Structure 1
Amino acid sequence: MGSETTVQLRQAMTLIEKASLMSGANFWNTKPIERLGVPSIMLTDGPHGLRKQGGAADHLGLNASIPATCFPTAATLANSWDAALVERVGTALGAEAAAERVSVLLGPGLNIKRNPLAGRSFEYFSEDPLLSGTLAAAMIRGIQSRGVAASAKHFAVNSQETHRMSIDEIVDERALHELYLEGFRIAITQGDAWTVMSSYNKVNGTYANENRELLADILRARWGFGGLVVTDWGGNNDRVAGLVAGNALEMPSTDGVTDREIVAAVEAGTLDEAVLDARVDELLSLIEHTAPRDDAPAADHDLHHQHAIEAARRSIVLASNRGGMLPLGSSAGRIAVIGDFAETPRYQGAGSSLVNPTRVDAPLDALTAVDLDVIGFEPGFRRRDAASRRLRTRALRLASQADTVLLFLGLDESAEAEAVDRTHMRLARNQLDLTREVIALGKRVVVVLAGGAPVELPFADDVDAVVLGYLGGQGLGPALADVLTGRANPGGKLAETYPLRYEDVPNAASFALTQATSEHRESIYLGYRYYDKVGAPVRYPFGHGLSYTTFAYSDLVADARSARVIVTNTGLIAGDEVVQVYVEAPDAAAGQVRAPRELAGFAKVHLEPGASATVEIALAEHTFHVYDTGIHDWRIVPGEYTVLAGASSRDIREQVPVSIAGEPLVLGGSANYVTGHVERVDATEFEALLGRVLPPADWPTDRPLTRDDIIAQTKGRGGFASVLHGLIEGTSRLLMALGRPHASNNVRFVFDLPFRSVERMSNGGVDAAMVDGLLLMVNGRFWRGIRRTVSAWWAHRSRPESKAQRTRPKSED
């Protein structure tokens, strides 16, 4: 279908047919129009591996998917700082999707990491928009090179999981553009994404999916995006408003509910049919680009497993290495491997990104296969923080017989998942207790950490080395063994800051603690921008990562467009160095509402011992700009800048001045914004920054619940409302107690569903009248609600279309 044919097809459709294309046929497929030869295409999850379900479909990974290569998650890949590597991973993901006749792979995710406790941090790249956008663009190019559309998500400001389907993210205009949108701009303009997924949340009072400023003005008009916007699953609020803003496809199927809303709006004259036509054209164009090919080659899972190992290997971060403890050699002596994560690795996250791997190589197996004197293994602790004196005693006995202890710690499967945020930044108590006792034995201790986001490491100064494996995918085991033994030289660098403790995070006092809104009082001061502004100590700075060799920097030269520096491997073995270029604001932004320095470019270089390379790095487009809210656009801020080249945001090796001309711009503000101490910002200061009064932060409790409220709001209302809340809460707790953390977290997903979504996500099993009956029940009119629900259920069941739904072949669902 060419563009002319696309228009002809659309012109041949009836209004009902055009409306029907705007929502799914089922959970993962679009609707076909058979009489015109318009095929159905499949969309499916896949930020770090294809999650195509072969049986019953769901959004959160409850049901198994077909085997696919599980690559390292985005949080892990980001530590490689290697766009070429990420593009190769994307190419493999695209190949596996094409082989399975999948047209749209729902990823990459690239929301900014606002807070370490965010439950989906493992799916996102970085706290920095330049790094996030550059790597996301690379993954998009790789996926789409195989004729499969990537979907940059979640647009925009999807900063937390708590109440994610209703939360209003309140963010000032400058922070919105400089942090939360900039990564998307880079990913879309450099990666040419064919689709974008809108987020569940509101942004400054309007749902992202119907936010005309985001979708029409910024994404399309300003950035030139010409592709298709798809909702997150169940992420539609007002279907007509979404169409007008720029959303084409609502997923999953709503059993025709919202299709009828579109038809009614056109017939009533409240929706211009030209708007619907534009959205239909976007979908037809996507089908043209991505229609499955019969000659697509089968996926080479063996080759892709090797790619997964390489990706993990190049993303591992050596965070500390006291006295050159690593790599392990003959001097390590007798080695005890302790920690459940060595035998049963945590290699991916949970929820919609949960991949069914083709295989999993455990670190313990890989370590026992190399030339090390491994004297034994003990799990040492129970996975979900249950005390076990027996396991701890056995582990300490083994450790006492060793010269070196490899201690595998981490966050378990219940800690990080879609739909839930973490409640603290600590490791499990049983792991901390065991670590303290192992250290007390006086042995050499190497900690290997698993998890998708920072944790507090109170023992870091008391162990000999800390290795951050993050969530390294199915090939994590061999990758870790290679790095620990020196067969590979670690070259990963942190894509986020590790704070000393959670209280040091600028939004620690408020993150995910309010009900209706999430106030971004910290504005532009996130991650290293904040810590560097206030001079706060951190555990590991942004960009940090050690090597088994050393590198020297010299002869930095720079201008307004690029920086060039000579890097020399001054050690005895080959290694990779990530050369990071930062630009420091005039006077390090003293007296200004501005971060002192920001990442402006980076490059990864491989050097043999004694070798040198001249590394030239183009500076980012907005290096010398800020977003000026007075003109609602970027503008240059003149002055004497300093271009810095270094190995992390706090390991600067070379610097040179660069003078930038332009019209002066005053970056003033209240005292706390000028000093960066945004943890002290109160409501009055934030309102002054926003230029408007803040909406209520919590839910109203003095009115009945409506279709737009979420199920979590039943808590504490008494009667059936509290019974319903208790049933969901109790089921979640029971599943956790039964050792099913994925299912437990997924049950909690129900809390954040708006009541309207019960109908739209039921695949025809529930209609609006039944939802209204449920609302009567939770609003204290139980028996009337029961009668209304039963009556509506019987009427719904008796309709011809409902009978057809019940007899539909299972393969259609």
Structure 2
Amino acid sequence: MKISFHQISLVVMAVAMSFSCSLGVSAQQLRAENIDEVVKAMTLEEKCHMVLGRGMHFNDEAKFPGTAGSTFSVNRLGIPETYCADSQQGLRMSATRAWDHHDYYPTDFVASMTLASTWDREAAFKVGKGIGNEVREFGLDWILSPAMNLIRNPLCGRNHEYYSEDPYLSGTIAADYVKGVQSEGTAACPKHFVANNQETNRNNNISQVSQRALREIYLKAFEIMVKESDPWTIMTSYNKLNGPYAVQNGELLTTIVRDEWGWKGMFVSDWNAGDDAVAAMLAGNDMLQPGQDKQYKAIYEAAKSGKLPMEVLDANVKRILEYVVKTHNFKGYKYSNEPDLKAHAQVVREVGADGIVLLKNSGILPLAGKRVALFGCTSYDWISGGSGFGGTSVGHYTVSLVEGMRSAGYEVYKPLIRTYTQHIAAEEKRLFPNGRPPFSLMPPARADEKQFTADELNAAIEGSDVAIISLGRKSGEAADRSEADFYLKEGEKQLIKAVSEAYHAKGKQVVVLLDICSPIDVASWQNQIDALVCTWQGGQESGFSLADVLSGKVNPSGKLPMTFQNKYGDAYADKNFPSNVDDKTLGAMFMWGYNKDQAPKERKPQANIDYTNYEEDIYVGYRYFDSFGKSVAYPFGFGLSYTTFGYDNLKVTEANGVFTVKVDVKNTGSKAGRNVVELFVAAPNSKKANKPEKELRNYAKTKLLQPGQTETITMQVKTEDLASFNEKASAWKTDAGVYTFMICSSANDVEAKATAKVKAWTKKVNNVMKPNVKLNLLKR
């Protein structure tokens, strides 16, 4: 058996510790108040091990099998091992363990887009708290979430983990998720820092971004989250950013985050990110996961030679120990392995329903008829979340659409159940002749749609009052979706056309459900149907959540956290994204450890694979469509209700640079419902100043308003919140002038507006993170 240098050093350490104990030498025992003394008491070997992880826990004999890894322990100093787990949607770990009759099924919470679509900070806190509690009660310390990169393009493979195209919405939802996690004494780990907006060649791609876009768009989401929630840890990303790897970029990690933002937590790398362990330490990335022999050797030799100053290594170790002393394992928490799964399931059901977005409704919803025919493979193979380590956790069930509709009192047309069960089974055999793989970073293929004869459709029409067609899309890390996946497949088109024509000919209507991971084309076909519901992916209670909305038990209040464009290519960013890359293994390269010998041979760098120029600059999502007058299928912030709302008495007042916005929101319809109030602000002379037409600056969600009931909503915006980044001055600047405050029901629908005079404001920052190439940036 080959013995590694890493293993030899551990044996030497164990012998040394045993010798010191036999001599009766007492060592400092770690406490929250003596961390500096403990760092001084550590040997160089111990420090070099402390900044590395201890591998991933994939084997059956691990303490917590199926989890992401752990931190180094030093027993003689009272430093315990702490444990981390992956997944944005809940704790990811093995559901069963060797020689153990118990099961360890965690809750499969809602996907990120579903949570963001609630536009509800309280919902984000509840989900974070539930996940933090399960981490605690299952014996771990640290959850590697939330993922909160900006949705720059609808085809990014990890969009299901991300919240929004807008930094304010992303940052605030993430902040309350973090607060919820950490309220349980569990460490949160916002990621992937930063500009990790594609999976293609993710370990080597250089994101090339202007200082302004980086500050206003990509860093802003993290800045909001950091300042509002103070996460204990942050994970750096795989990609390079304006030159160096993010994990090895001192201007990014130290100058901006520590010096400017004042954050004092622990940076940890994404698993096997970067190619220079010493550079990562010097940059301020405190821990490298999951830890490699060559990283230990490099750090040890650099520390001995002085290339890695001891004060830098000590600072890395100190921040790690500051994390350790907060953890459950350090405090000796006696975990139960029995979190309140029923209570968490109720949270999933409620948040899943609140995150559903009603896009179109001819009046058919809520459903009055009690007989439904469910078409589409997804209706019988519901997708609760994405794949990969950040995807859906190993939940023990997903409530089906069939069960959900039946629970709400609907009669589901049985012949279609039998037909689809047989069809999906046949497709499984065709697609996976050797059996479906148990785990994949990238989502496996899904069944093609079944087509129906006229007789079969006529029978379904006779046996139902309404047709419901479900369309599904699933994505995962390590590969981006293709442009073709943005559009309907031929079988899906044919199914919608055939069902719609047949039902309409009999005077009956058709509803389409979008069980999707990211926006798709709806503009080309939605005129054929009567209602369109974006369900996103709602976790284990999906069927119940959806039935609650379709039946009217819950009035839909979700709003889109990103734009649905008419066709792919409409967004300016689309031309700088790898939408048609043949080699779908590029994203998975070096996942298990970077090896330069395995790297592709030298070749001419390819756009959007080896480097991606963010030429759209600040004009991401609605900022582009709105500012350049481009039509969309559904705008950012859009979502219908079963009732209507009115807005009155908008007032904006100012005191000490803080603008207080008040507006009365009245339920003017006939059903009780909640409403999202979106506050956009437009700067004076925005086109001349090359600023977006308007930007989201705050939002709020009403309580459940009964018909005729009014609630006064209050929101605040600071003068500094209105600032843009001036690259020449390397400063945030709010120009003096008259600003327009708009209450909106979407980025395209202004319900009320008022103006206010704003004084100039400036804050100088460090002139760092310049792109290493000249970018051809979009301007108004």
Tell me if both proteins adopt one fold, taking TM over 0.5 as the criterion.
yes
Q: 2:677 — aligned with what?
A: 579
What secondary structure sits across from 2:235 in the alignment?
strand
1:372 corresponds to which letter in structure 2? Y
What secondary structure sits across from 1:47 in the alignment?
coil
Pairing partner for 1:503 from 548, 569, 578: 569
Contact 1:601/1:620 (8 A) holds in 2 = no
Q: 2:65 — aligned with what?
A: none
Q: 1:77 — aligned with what?
A: 115
Structure 2 unpaired stretches of 5+: 1-29, 57-68, 428-444, 580-607, 764-772
| Aligned counterparts, 1:117-516, within 5 A | 117-254=155-292, 256-292=293-329, 293-297=332-336, 298-322=338-362, 324-329=363-368, 332=369, 334-353=371-390, 354-376=392-414, 377-378=416-417, 384=445, 396-402=457-463, 404-413=465-474, 416-424=475-483, 425-441=486-502, 442=504, 443-457=508-522, 458-512=524-578, 514-516=608-610
Contact 2:203/2:274 (8 A) holds in 1 = no
Q: 1:592 — aligned with what?
A: 689
Contact 2:150/2:197 (8 A) holds in 1 = yes
Contact 1:411/1:428 (8 A) holds in 2 = no
Contact 1:491/1:575 (8 A) holds in 2 = yes
* Per-residue deviation, residues 258-308 of structure 1 (Å, max 9, x unmatched): 112111111112111000000000111111011324334530111111111
Change in CA separation of 1:333 and 1:72 when aligned onto 2, cut-off 3 Å: closer
**Shift of residue 487 of structure 1?**
0.8
Distance in 1, matches of 2:449 and 2:514, equals 21
2:384 corresponds to which letter in structure 1? Y
Q: Does 1:565 align with 2:663?
A: yes
Change in CA separation of 1:392 and 1:96 when aligned onto 2, cut-off 3 Å: farther
Q: 2:17 — aligned with what?
A: none
What secondary structure sits across from 2:574 in the alignment?
coil
Distance in 2, matches of 1:54 and 1:367, equals 28
**Shift of residue 664 of structure 1?**
11
TM-score under structure 2 length normalisation: 0.81
Contact 1:411/1:427 (8 A) holds in 2 = no
Pairing partner for 1:37 from 72, 78, 84: 78
Distance in 2, matches of 1:622 and 1:126, equals 22
Contact 2:146/2:178 (8 A) holds in 1 = yes
1:570 corresponds to which letter in structure 2? T
1:342 corresponds to which letter in structure 2? S
Change in CA separation of 1:9 and 1:387 when aligned onto 2, cut-off 3 Å: closer
Q: Does 1:657 align with 2:755?
A: yes
**Shift of residue 85 of structure 1?**
1.0
Q: 1:22 — aligned with what?
A: 51
Q: Does 1:2 align with 2:31?
A: yes
Contact 1:86/1:135 (8 A) holds in 2 = yes
1:304 corresponds to which letter in structure 2? H
Distance in 2, matches of 1:515 and 1:504, equals 21
What secondary structure sits across from 2:675 in the alignment?
strand
2:497 corresponds to which letter in structure 1? R
* Per-residue deviation, residues 412-445 of structure 1 (Å, max 9, x unmatched): 44xx111110112113321121011111111300
Distance in 1, matches of 2:614 and 2:409, equals 51
* Per-residue deviation, residues 139-181 of structure 1 (Å, max 9, x unmatched): 0000011111000100000010000111000000000010000
What is the count of residue pairs matched by the alignment? Answer: 659
What secondary structure sits across from 1:552 in the alignment?
strand
1:436 corresponds to which letter in structure 2? K
What secondary structure sits across from 2:757 in the alignment?
strand
2:307 corresponds to which letter in structure 1? T
What secondary structure sits across from 1:264 in the alignment?
helix
Distance in 2, matches of 1:179 and 1:343, equals 39
Change in CA separation of 1:3 and 1:630 when aligned onto 2, cut-off 3 Å: farther
Q: 2:638 — aligned with what?
A: 544
Q: Does 1:647 align with 2:688?
A: no
Contact 2:196/2:237 (8 A) holds in 1 = yes
**Shift of residue 594 of structure 1?**
1.0
Contact 2:353/2:548 (8 A) holds in 1 = yes
**Shift of residue 35 of structure 1?**
2.2
Change in CA separation of 1:389 and 1:228 when aligned onto 2, cut-off 3 Å: closer
Change in CA separation of 1:663 and 1:155 when aligned onto 2, cut-off 3 Å: closer
2:558 corresponds to which letter in structure 1? G
Contact 1:336/1:398 (8 A) holds in 2 = no
Contact 2:617/2:777 (8 A) holds in 1 = no
**Shift of residue 360 of structure 1?**
1.6
Contact 1:403/1:444 (8 A) holds in 2 = no
TM-score under structure 1 length normalisation: 0.78
Change in CA separation of 1:505 and 1:393 when aligned onto 2, cut-off 3 Å: farther
What secondary structure sits across from 2:188 in the alignment?
strand
Distance in 1, matches of 2:347 and 2:777, equals 49
Contact 2:122/2:176 (8 A) holds in 1 = yes
Distance in 1, matches of 2:730 and 2:366, equals 52
1:38 corresponds to which letter in structure 2? I
Distance in 2, matches of 1:67 and 1:408, equals 31
Change in CA separation of 1:570 and 1:389 when aligned onto 2, cut-off 3 Å: closer
Superposed structure 1 runs of 4+ greater than 4 Å apart: 54-57, 378-395
Q: 1:758 — aligned with what?
A: none
**Shift of residue 86 of structure 1?**
0.9
Distance in 2, matches of 1:502 and 1:456, equals 8
Distance in 1, matches of 2:244 and 2:452, equals 52
Contact 2:378/2:472 (8 A) holds in 1 = no
**Shift of residue 404 of structure 1?**
4.1
* Per-residue deviation, residues 643-694 of structure 1 (Å, max 9, x unmatched): 00021111111001112232899xxxxxxxxxxxxxxxxx9761799xxxxx
Contact 1:581/1:601 (8 A) holds in 2 = yes
Aligned-residue Cα RMSD (Å) equals 2.3
**Shift of residue 6 of structure 1?**
1.3
* Per-residue deviation, residues 473-529 of structure 1 (Å, max 9, x unmatched): 001110100100101111111111111111212122231263210110000001100
Change in CA separation of 1:546 and 1:387 when aligned onto 2, cut-off 3 Å: closer
Q: Does 1:532 align with 2:626?
A: yes
Change in CA separation of 1:620 and 1:137 when aligned onto 2, cut-off 3 Å: farther
Distance in 1, matches of 2:718 and 2:621, equals 19
Distance in 2, matches of 1:565 and 1:291, equals 44
Q: 1:702 — aligned with what?
A: none
**Shift of residue 390 of structure 1?**
5.9
**Shift of residue 640 of structure 1?**
1.7
Distance in 2, matches of 1:390 and 1:427, equals 15
**Shift of residue 593 of structure 1?**
1.4
Change in CA separation of 1:248 and 1:360 when aligned onto 2, cut-off 3 Å: same
Distance in 1, matches of 2:632 and 2:258, equals 39
Q: 1:11 — aligned with what?
A: 40
